[in-house]
Amino acid sequence: MLNKYARAFFTRVLTPFAAFLIRRGVSPDTVTLLGTAGVIAGALVFYPRGEFFWGTVVITLFVFSDLVDGNMARQLGRTSRWGAFLDSTLDRVADGAIFGGFALWYAGGGNDNVLCAVSIFCLASGQVVSYTKARGESIGLPVAVNGLVERAERLVISLVAAGFAGLHKFGVPGIQYLLPVALWIVAVGSLVTLIQRVVTVRRESAEAEAAAGAPENASQGSEAAK
């Protein structure tokens, strides 16, 4: 749902900015690289120190590069396999930095091994969820399921919760518990999504193999009738 509506909205909003960058001679790949670097810096500089509010502000500013670079490529008519590969690969790097930042906090100043483990699970499961779809498509299956929690949902839930949790340092009481709740939601949602995709690939694989064997079986039946 977030991919369908939020992405369309922000694409319209960011189109003038993308056009401005094109006029300045900035390439889509440059925006992709700078955006990823900004997300990594925001996550690994601020989050391990418990600075969730400012870390989220920095990450949010740079995470929109994921929409800007694609917008620029479409305006330039330069959409390519390389651009799609680079964008998808660096998305995984950025996601890893965000949840890695949470894990570092809970392993250190946050002093909570359970939430450290949950953060690591969010990191790993997010990568595997993306892999299952990519791998299924690479063997010729449609993988016709999105799942409960995709990348957009993982980022929105985690970043919004982290940003609000960071307000605890400004004197807002009790709000720091939003981040642990969000991490548990993302962990469970990612597990459900992973199961949904594995089940879908299993079903589609069986259907594809049955369809491939049907003509052969029909031909053998015809020969036997003769």
Catalytic residues: 91
Q: Is 32 annotated as a binding residue?
A: yes
Q: Is 74 annotated as a binding residue?
A: yes
What's the Rg (C-alpha) of the chain?
A: 22
Q: Is 30 annotated as a binding residue?
A: yes
Q: Is 91 annotated as a binding residue?
A: yes
Q: Is 112 annotated as a binding residue?
A: no
Q: Is 95 annotated as a binding residue?
A: no
Question: Do residues 26 and 81 lie in contact, with contact meaning Cβ atoms separated by under 8 Å?
Answer: no
What are the angstrom distances between the C-alpha of 117 and each of 99, 103, 104, 188, 195?
A: 11, 7, 10, 13, 20
Q: Is 190 annotated as a binding residue?
A: no
Neighbours of 141 (CB within 10 A): 18
Q: Quick one: tokens of 125?
A: 């499961």
CA angle, corner 131, sides to 198 and 55, nearest 5? Answer: 120
Binding-site residues for Mg(2+), in ranges, read: 66, 69, 87, 91
Binding-site residues for a CDP-1,2-diacyl-sn-glycerol, in ranges, read: 29-32, 70, 74, 80
Binding-site residues, in ranges, read: 29-32, 66, 69-70, 74, 80, 87, 91
